[in-house]
Amino acid sequence: MCPTDFQTHYYSPICTDMQYNNSVSVESYIFTQNNISLVTNFTNSTDNMTMFEDIVLGSELICRRESSLLFLLLMLGTVWMAVSLFNFNKTSASKRELLADYALPCAVLLLSFIGSFVFRDIPVEHFRYSNTFEFRRARLEYLPWTAYIGCMGLGFSLSLLFFMDQNISAAMVNNPCNKLKKGCAYHLDLFVVGILNGFLSMYGLPWMHGVLPHSPLHVRSLADVEERVDQGHVYEIIVKVRETRLTGIVSHILIGLSVFLLPYPLAYIPTAVLNGLFLYMAITSLNSNQMFERITLLFMEQAAYPPNHYIRRCPQRKIHMFTLCQMVQLGLMCFFGFSPWPYVKMVFPIIILLLLPFRHKIVPVVIDNKYLEALDGENQ
């Protein structure tokens, strides 16, 4: 979203003309959110008059570099404030835990106020919504038979994505490191996800399933965490998790009630703040992520390695080889997942499925199974 905003405003054609085109003498452009006032010195040529019409009538030609800079500041400011509050450790334990739990809402509220009121003279993109909503069943009976065949292929690919996301999220939640006491129910979870998504699809509503990083972060928010020191390295362990269904039920009820906050106050939330929200979730999910930890080992002296279980059991070269294999797979998934071509994106679930035989058939050829067991094993 940030590159798109810069492409639209900062590198717009009119900004380029103002900077590099000497045939047009432009003294100043003053843009506000409600109106556009133009102060310029034009020659009497026809080209300049045409450019004048394009500036006034074509909103895509408006030079709003200040909007792009504010977008970047709001996004990074949201991330910085949320991460700072999440890692706050200057007060007592109770206040520190309270700030960490509500770091993201505090950052979103404050940066939304700054973007919508403090800098209200600078136009920024805000939360977009539709005024029309109809809750009715999709008329599937009017589709031709060829559409059913095409949907079968797309549905199969989508079901693979649901299957992988749901099981990976459930496996991370039920990690022994989380010390959950209640047992897992993988098959029941998939059955419920299938029933819910079948109903949601008939009414054109968003699908739902366990997803990263929301599910592990939910467990982390319900956990009591302690810091331990081992050979000079500080790491966190989960002591206890409050296993309850109330948080999931209440959070989804609040999500449903949020429709009554439209158009205001949700319309005051800039898009840049929402982008910062997702960046914050990505950054905080890196905590206790073994792959990210092993990537940092590539730039670290061997004497400074933390005393993890896989470092004790695996040679350094094997650890780096396994990390590079995962980085190649990650790059492949990013290519298909963020591709600008829709047909390439549809192959993304197939790529995820192909990672399974790659891990079990190809990776063991270059890395011994005894090392893979240590690298894939849980923290000990």
Which tens digits make up the pLDDT trace of 145-180? 888 888 888 888 888 888 888 888 888 888 888 888
Domain membership flag for residue 254: no
Q: Do 296 and 335 belong to one domain?
A: yes
Same domain? 298 vs 347: yes
Q: Is residue 257 part of a domain?
A: no
Q: Which of 63, 91, 112 is the last residue of a domain?
A: 63
Note down the domain range covering 367. 289-380
- pLDDT attached to residue 159: 85
Write out the H or E segment, with its range, that includes residue 90: none
Are both 117 and 159 inside the same structural domain?
A: no
Q: Based on the fold, state whether residues 199 and 112 are members of the same structural domain.
A: no
The residue ranking higher by pLDDT, 9 or 283, is 283
- Establish if 200 belongs to a structural domain: yes
278 and 178 inside one domain: no
CA distance 324 to 312: 19
Buried b / exposed e over 18-27, threshold 16 CB at 10 Å, is beeeeebebe
Residue 379 counted as domain residue = yes
Q: In the predicted model, what is the mean pLDDT of residues 185-211?
A: 85
Co-location of 115 and 17 in the same domain: no
Q: Are residues 21 and 35 in the same domain?
A: yes
Q: Specify if 249 maps to a domain.
A: no
Distance CA 273, CA 285 (A): 18
Of 230, 253, 288, the residue that ends a domain is: 288
**Does any domain span residue 311?**
yes
Runs of H (alpha helix) within 222-340: 246-257, 271-284, 290-297, 309-313, 316-337
- pTM of whole model > 0.85? no
In a domain, 256, yes or no: no
Quick one: 238 and 224 in the same domain?
A: yes
User: Using CA atoms, how far apart are residues 38 and 26, in angstroms rounded to an integer?
Assistant: 9
Total tally of structural domains belonging to the chain: 4
Which of 14-28, 199-213, 346-360 comes out lowest in average pLDDT?
14-28
Retrieve residue 151's tokens. Answer: 């949907």
Look at residue 58 and tell me whether its pLDDT is greater than 50: no
The per-residue pLDDT for 322 is 92
Same domain, 142 and 239: yes
Are 207 and 165 in contact by the 8 Å Cβ rule? The answer is no
Residues 141, 214 within the same domain: yes
* Listed ranges 44-53, 60-69, 111-120, 324-333; the one with the highest mean pLDDT: 324-333
Residues 274 and 182 in one domain: no
Residue 255 within a domain: no
Q: Are residues 36 and 102 in the same domain?
A: no
